[in-house]
Amino acid sequence: MHRVLAETYPEAHCELDFANAFELLVVTVLSAQTTDRRVNAVRPTLFAAYPTPEAMAQADREVLEGILGPLGFFRAKTESLLKLSAALVERYDGEVPPRLADLVTLPGVGRKTANVVLGNAFDVPGITVDTHFGRLARRFGWTEETDPVKVEHAVGALFAKKDWTMLSHRLIWHGRRRCHARNPACGACPVARWCPAFGEGPTEPEVAEKLVKTEARR
């Protein structure tokens, strides 16, 4: 299944825009409860104003809230960025640590965010269990676990560590484009022959094809 998904989505990558590890850490934190598209839209303004942890830690709260306003929950997200940036300055001299154990001690950073940063900024393999990944892992029969950490460990045991980061991207892309939570495009799915959940969505190719999203930056 992974081989076919790799052939189907050769361009799979992190759909959050970033230029360095600090930017990726921040935009991943901001992506909670909003879309990647919205985060990418505010990113240029945000980092033009606050390009470093030092600058962001000293940001004027009202100005930062104004930049983050389009994302929703902007007051809570402003608080998160101020605390996160301050912690980077105080604990790590303004550098994003390249270790899971350190990243998860930062305010607002859990294993999902840490694995995104490790895999995409530092090339350290990690499994990112977002809602799409967890849903597909269960739908494919790879695990019955619902807790993200347990899903991460269960799926990690099935695949070579070197494949973890790209496996995450490909499952997320597949979940956003074809294997939707409701009405998945079963009849237009490249891994349908191996999927125990085949039939949860329309199986007729012409019907299923209409459900496929060719671009899904969410």
**Residues involved in catalysis:** 112, 130
Q: Give the total residue count for the chain.
A: 218
Please report the DSSP string for the chain in residue order. Answer: -HHHHHHH-TT----S--SSHHHHHHHHHHTTTS-HHHHHHHHHHHHHH--SHHHHHT--HHHHHHHHGGGSSHHHHHHHHHHHHHHHHHHHTT---S-HHHHTTSTT--HHHHHHHHHHHS--------HHHHHHHHHTTS----SHHHHHHHHHTTS-GGGHHHHHHHHHHHHHHTS-SSS--GGG-TTGGG-TTTTSS--SHHHHHTT--S----
The closest of 171, 213, 166, 217 to 188, measured between CA atoms, is 213
The closest of 129, 86, 84 to 104, measured between CA atoms, is 84
Query: From residue 154, how far is each of 84, 90, 146 by CA, in Å?
Result: 30, 35, 11
